[in-house]
Amino acid sequence: MRNIWLDIRYGARILWKHRLATLVCAIALALGIGANTAIFSIAEAFLLHPVPFENADRIMALVDTRPEQTIDMNAVAPATYFDWQKEARSFEQFAAYEWDESNLTGDREPQKIQDFKVSANFFSLLGVKPLLGRTFYAESEESGKDQEIILSYGLWERRYASDPGRRPL
């Protein structure tokens, strides 16, 4: 036990004597551990846990690529989506979504939120049912009838205190 204590004291004296090298090593170690933790967290979330959708093995995401412009993934134009929907025979159904950021205003302080504009059949394609209320009707895609929203559980819980009586303005 005495030898261990002597080794610890000797190591501490050497580290104190070479403070700059100790600092550089500590920072490199901290960055390495932090980067490893971040990468593992992402890998664990996406690779080790199955996607919580019904028939997840039958769901595909299609993207538009343009190798001549060195664009790996490009947003699909609405005309391309409708062409795929009309012409494709290998898929049961198609759904579209577009990610965006918006400012939620109205009843409280403005809040920046992530939102998705989705086709009416988006939730049925994924096999997801809302906790309360309903999903979109097919008519929701018609111009002038596209003013409905579905709140995520997290937003409903944070902003509206999980109160079914409180409605967004």
pLDDT digits (tens, 9 = 90+) for 111-146: 899 999 898 999 988 888 888 888 988 888 888 877
pLDDT digits (tens, 9 = 90+) for 12-51: 999 899 999 999 999 999 999 999 999 988 888 777 777 7
Q: What is the pTM of this model?
A: 0.62
Residue 90 has φ and ψ, to the nearest 5°, of: -90, 0
Q: How far apart are CA 126 and CA 54, in angstroms?
A: 7
Instruction: Please give the C-alpha separations between residue 165 and each of 156, 158, 160, 162, in angstroms, as whole numbers.
Output: 11, 15, 9, 9
Strand partners, 101: 114
Instruction: Tell me how many degrees the CA angle 156-126-51 measures, rounded to the nearest 5.
Output: 85
